[in-house]
Amino acid sequence: MSIRRLPSPKQPTGLLAHLVASLSDTKRTRVKEILRSGLVHINGVSSTQHDAPVAPNDLVEIRKERAPVARSLPFDVLFEDDSIFVLNKPNGLLTVGNKHERKLTVESIVNQALAEQRQRCFIVQRLDLYTSGVLLLAKSELVQKKIKDNWGKSEKFYHALVEGTPDPDHADLTHFLSEDERLLVHASDSPDRGGVKASLSYQSLERREAHTLVRVKLKTGKKNQIRAQMSAIGHPIAGDAKYGATTNPISRLCLHASSLTLTHPTTNQRVTFTAPLPDGMEL
């Protein structure tokens, strides 16, 4: 059973009007369908009447049985409600399609699972092909827009296993990124060469023989940013031969999106989602 509790109205109103106001991310025709279906309850009693009275202290809920989409997905769903999915994206899976691959992507797999419910997902962010971890998807365009409008207030943390020992063990990095014809991103200290400004901070967590586990706070979200910036200071991410790594201790890129904090688009509460570190990277 899925139960969505709506906020009580500030003054007496009709049920349909209250639903339309509370479900601002849902089209009016869909709100009417929900009401007709008998899923809406006032103080525990089902109602389908548009003009059913709703008072400031009434409890209004939408109750429905649903088969979680998670059951039909080949990866872990960290969280799901009526507005968003939060997935633990595997290493080696594209977020969205490109000219080489359109079927085997997070977007296509989730949309195939949602097709039975006549729904689809909307991309909010992307992770590189070989980066694993927390990935957020919206369930409507309105939710997608609301999240993107507030994306600058979100907090994104990654864990990376880098070659060598960063010195100092914590620092703020700012570079200017430019991409060449080989799609390789270059990080320069000087803005004179052009490029977009990119910033992050890192903190060393654990020294491991030839590697160091670091926690990275992403302050801007640019293509290959962490990979290019860590390489620029002489500590490429293990497994990342493209950016100069010479070791590959766990047979994959050692970069993982470990947590995401943002304001929930519907409840307006601050929420944090975390994905466990992959084997070989865990503390």
**CATH code for position 30:** 3.10.290.10
Q: What is the pLDDT of residue 65?
A: 53
Q: What is the pLDDT of residue 102?
A: 60
CA angle 135, 201, 241 (to 5 degrees): 70
Q: What is the pLDDT of residue 148?
A: 96
Asked whether residue 109 is domain-assigned, the answer is no
Asked whether residue 12 is domain-assigned, the answer is yes
Q: What is the pLDDT of residue 47?
A: 85
Query: How many other C-beta atoms are found inside a 10 Å radius of the C-beta of residue 277?
Result: 17
Query: How many other C-beta atoms are found inside a 10 Å radius of the C-beta of residue 87?
Result: 27
Residue at which a domain ends, from 64, 85, 102:
64
CATH of residue 248: 3.30.2350.10
What is the pTM assigned to this prediction? 0.76
46 and 148 within one domain: no
Asked whether residue 129 is domain-assigned, the answer is no
Residues 152/142, Cβ–Cβ less than 8 Å: no
AA identity, residue 271 = V
Q: What is the pLDDT of residue 74?
A: 83
Which one of 25, 82, 128, 167 is the catalytic residue?
A: 128
Q: What is the pLDDT of residue 220?
A: 94
Pairing of strands 255-263, 132-138: parallel
Q: What is the pLDDT of residue 180?
A: 92
Q: What is the mean pLDDT of each run of 10 residues along the chain (283 residues)?
A: 82 94 87 84 86 92 66 81 90 84 82 82 94 96 94 97 98 96 92 90 96 97 96 98 97 97 90 94 88
In which domain, by residue range, is 239 found? 115-121+138-283
198 and 59 within one domain: no
Residues 265/146, Cβ–Cβ less than 8 Å: yes
Q: What is the pLDDT of residue 112?
A: 87
Rounded to whole angstroms, the Cα distance separating 245 from 261 reads 30
Q: What is the pLDDT of residue 283?
A: 80
180 and 43 within one domain: no
Q: What is the pLDDT of residue 1?
A: 53
How many domains, in total, are found in the chain? 2
Query: How many other C-beta atoms are found inside a 10 Å radius of the C-beta of residue 149?
Result: 10
Residue 33's contacts (CB-CB under 8 Å, 6 or more residues apart) are none
**Residue 128 a catalytic site member:** yes
Residue at which a domain ends, from 28, 43, 64:
64
177 and 261 within one domain: yes
Structure tokens at 278: 């992959």
CA angle 262, 57, 268 (to 5 degrees): 5
Q: What is the pLDDT of residue 99?
A: 65
Q: What is the pLDDT of residue 132?
A: 98
Residues 60/54, Cβ–Cβ less than 8 Å: yes
